[in-house]
Structures are given as structure tokens and as C-alpha cells.
Structure 1
Amino acid sequence: MDGTLVDTEPYWIETEFALAEKHGGTWSTEHALNLVGHDLLDSGRYIREHMGIDLEPSEIVEQLLDGVVARVEDEVPWRPGALELLEDLAATGMPRALVTMSYKRFVAPVLAALPEGAFDVVVTGDAVTRGKPHPDPYLKAAAELRLDAAHCLAIEDSNTGAKSAESAGCLVLVVPNHVPVLAGERRVFRDSLAGLDARALVALGG
């Protein structure tokens, strides 16, 4: 979701800097970009260590969510081509899952801005024990879609997310956004989702 469906990374980064200022910590854009695609609790642990603030990782996550949810409720920053692609996928009846490390309360306002039934399955970071880069989120999504993950295409914008999808067996369409993504045997690269439709995604799998 973050970085592929919606460009919320700037919201997260702004909120992280605000958290550092509020609690007397220090932060950098480099640290912020190191968190792209990661499980939120892992990010909370990283922030506690590198920001130098005396909060539990879970409390860090909740304060970040407070800030980012408020921003998304004010405006959802859609990525180019994302809404059009979702609409075409729905029209063809292709099974669709949202796999994100964001928590349910952050995902809710994004889903509310989409047509009902935009996704058949939603897997959030607080619904799995091990988040990305582990394969668990994608394996859970595939299972709930009643599909073999090897027959699924994942759309990702980070190495962390791509590794998670690859480990589950998915082919990965990489659309880089804020961070560079390494090449890989199961990774196909595009500059944007704009102009892609269901037929084009099927063709990526050969």
C-alpha cells in the first residue's frame, strides 16, 4: 500500500521528525528511508535506538499512526495509475489482496476512499506475527485468496517488500518510489503503474 497504491512515505517521514522534536531525539532522512517497507514494530525498535527517545516500540508506533492517520484522513495521496489499475482488475474479476505492514487503523481511511470491494482480502501488519521481509504476509494473503503464492503477482516499491513476496514464491512487479530496489530473478521493473491494466499484468508472468 505505502509507496505503491498511495504515496504516504512523506507523511511517515514528517511524522517521524515531529516525534523526534517532541521527545528530544535526533533523526535524519537516511534513517527514515531505512524503514521503508518494514514491519512497524521493527521500525519502532529502530526509531527507539537511532532517534534516542525513551519510549517503548509499541508506543512509538501508536504515536506515528496518530500523526499519519490524521494526514490520510485529510488527503489520500494516490500513486499514478493505481486507481485505474484497481478498477480494471475489479472489472475482470481478478482476485486482489492488499498486503501492507501498516496497521488496520491506518489502512481503514485508505480503503474508505476506494470503491467497495476494491480488495477481496486485506492483510495488515498487525494481522501477522512476522512481517516483511518474511514471507508470512504474502503467504497469508494467497491462502485467503485460495491461491498458490507462486501463481500470484506482487506489486512492491522496496527491497524489504520484494524480498517478502519473493520468499513466498510470488513474481514481483517493482515500481520504485523513494528507495532504490535491487534487481532479482523474480523481479520485473516498471517506472509507473500508469498505463498498466489486467492484461498487462498477466503478460508479465509469461
Structure 2
Amino acid sequence: MDGTLVDTERYWMAAEEELVEAFDGTWTHDDALALVGSGLWEAAAVFQSKGVDLDADAIVARLTARVREQLNEHGVPWRPGARELLEALREASVPTALVTMSIRSMADDIIAAIPFAAFDVVVTGDAVEHAKPHPQPYLLAAEQLGVEIAACVAIEDSPAGLTSAHSAGAIAVGVPNILSLDDTPSTALWPTLVGVTVADLAALVGPNGSAS
């Protein structure tokens, strides 16, 4: 979701900086980049190491609330081509899942801003034991969709997300946003989703329902 469907990474980075500085710590751009795509509870330990004197649940709640405030203030910043491709997939009756390490309340905010029924399944960071880059989030999504993971095309913008999808056995497509994906295992790397069609995704799936 964050960085692939919506360009909210800058909202997260602002929230992270505010949080650490509220406890008189220092948060750099490199610190923020290191957490892109990671699970929120795993990230909480990093904030605690930077001096944030809150428990993990409180850190997750505070960060999420601040990002949701920015979404309400500035609107939902869609990534180029992402919503158009999602709508085309829905019109073609392709089952879709949202696999995000944001918590469910924030995912619901984004879903509510989409003017069509966008997803059959939603897997969020508060619904899994192991966050990305672990394969569990994508394996759970495929299970809930009732499809084989090898027949799924996963679109990701971060090394953690792409690793999660690839290690789960999905056809993993990287679309870089703020981080390079050149050294991350993937099926394909595309510069953008602008102009990408359902046929382009179908071409990645072989006749036996796996990577072609």
C-alpha cells in the first residue's frame, strides 16, 4: 500500500521525525529509509533505541495517528498508474488482495478513498505474526484468496516487500519509489505502473499458473 498504491512514505517519515524529536532524539533521512517496508512493531524497537520512551503498541498507535492526520489534511496521494491498474483488474474480475504492514485502521482509510470495491482480501501488519520481509503476509493473502501463491502477481516498491513476495513464491514485480530494487530478487522490475494493463500482468503468468 504505502509507496506502491499511495505515496505516503513522506507522511511516515515526517511522523517518525516528529516522534523521535519529541523525546529529544535525532532522526535522519537514512534512518527513515532503513525502515521503508518494515513492520511497525519491528520498527518500534528502532525508535526505542533512539530514545522514544513508549511501549511498542503506543509507538505504532502514535505514528499511525499522525499519518492518518496528514492523509485527512492533504488527501490521498495516489502513485502514478496504480489506481487505474487496480480498477482495470477489478473490471476484469481478477481477485485482488492488499498486503500492507500498516495497521487495519489506516488501510481502511485508504480503501474508503477508492471509489470502487477494490480488494477481496486485506492483510495488515496487525494481522500477521511475521512482518515483511518474511513471506507470511503474502502466503496468508493467497490462502485467503483461495489461490496458489505461484499464480499471484505481487507488486511492491520496497526491498522488504519485494523479498516477502518473492520468498513466498509469488511472481514479484518491483516498481521503485524512493529505494532502489536493483539488488532485490524479483521476477521483473518496472519503472512505473503508468500504462500497465491487465494483459501485461497476465503475460507474467505461465500456462500452468506460475511465472512464465
**TM-score exceeds 0.5:** yes
Q: Is the 8 A contact 2:3 2:9 kept in 1?
A: yes
**Letter of the 1:11 counterpart:** Y
- Structure with the greater relative contact order (CA < 8 A, sep ≥ 6): 1 or 2? 1
Shift of 1:66: 1.1
Question: Is this contact kept in 1: 2:95–2:145, CA < 8 A?
Answer: yes
- Give the CA RMSD over aligned residues: 1.2
- How many angstroms apart in 2 are the aligned matches of 1:117 and 1:175? 23
Question: Within 2, Cα distance between the matches of 1:126 and 1:189?
Answer: 28
In 2, are the aligned partners of 1:38 and 1:133 still within 8 Å (CA)?
A: yes
1:55 corresponds in structure 2 to: 54
Q: Which residue of 2 aligns with 1:160?
A: 160
Larger proportion of helix = 1
Give the C-alpha shift of residue 189 in structure 1: 0.5
Provide Cα deviations, 1:81-117, integer angstroms capped at 9, x if missing partner: 0111011001100110000000011111100001342
User: Does structure 1 conserve the Cα–Cα contact (< 8 Å) formed by 2:139 and 2:149?
Assistant: yes
Which structure 1 residue ranges, 4+ long, deviate > 6 Å from structure 2?
none
- The Cα shift of 1:60 comes to 1.2
Does the 8 Å CA contact 2:38/2:132 hold for their aligned counterparts? yes
Partner of 1:47, secondary structure, is helix
2:208 counterpart residue number: none
2:79 is the alignment partner of 1:93: no
TM-score, normalised to structure 1, is 0.96
Deviates more, 1:188-197 or 1:174-183: 174-183
Q: Given that residues 162 and 185 in structure 2 are in contact (C-alpha distance below 8 angstroms), is that contact kept between their aligned partners in structure 1?
A: no
Q: Using the aligned pairs only, state the percent identity.
A: 46
8 Å CA contact retained: 2:162, 2:184: no
User: Runs of 5+ in structure 2 lacking a partner?
Assistant: 206-211
TM-score of the superposition, structure 2-length normalised?
Answer: 0.93
Within the alignment, does 1:108 sit opposite 2:108 as a pair? Answer: yes
Asked if the contact 1:45/1:57 (under 8 Å) is kept, the reply is yes
Deviation of 1:185 after TM superposition, in Å, equals: 5.4
Instruction: Please say if 1:174 is aligned against 2:174.
Output: yes
Query: Tell me, which stretches of 5 or more residues in structure 1 are unaligned?
Result: none
Q: Deviations over 1:13-50 (max 9, x none)?
A: 0111111222211110000010000111001111211x
| Distance in 2 between residues matched to 1:73 and 1:187, nearest whole Å | 36
Question: 2:79, 2:186 → 1: CA distance?
Answer: 23
Q: Find the counterpart in structure 2 of residue 118 from structure 1.
A: 118
Structure 1: distance between partners of 2:6 and 2:199 = 22
Q: Conserved in 1, the CA contact under 8 Å of 2:174 and 2:186?
A: no
User: How many residue pairs align between the two structures?
Assistant: 205
Letter in 2 for 1:197: T
Equivalent runs, 1:2-151 vs 2, <5 Å: 2-49=2-49, 51-74=50-73, 75-151=75-151
CA drift of 1:70 comes to 0.9
Deviation at 1:182, TM superposition (A): 3.3
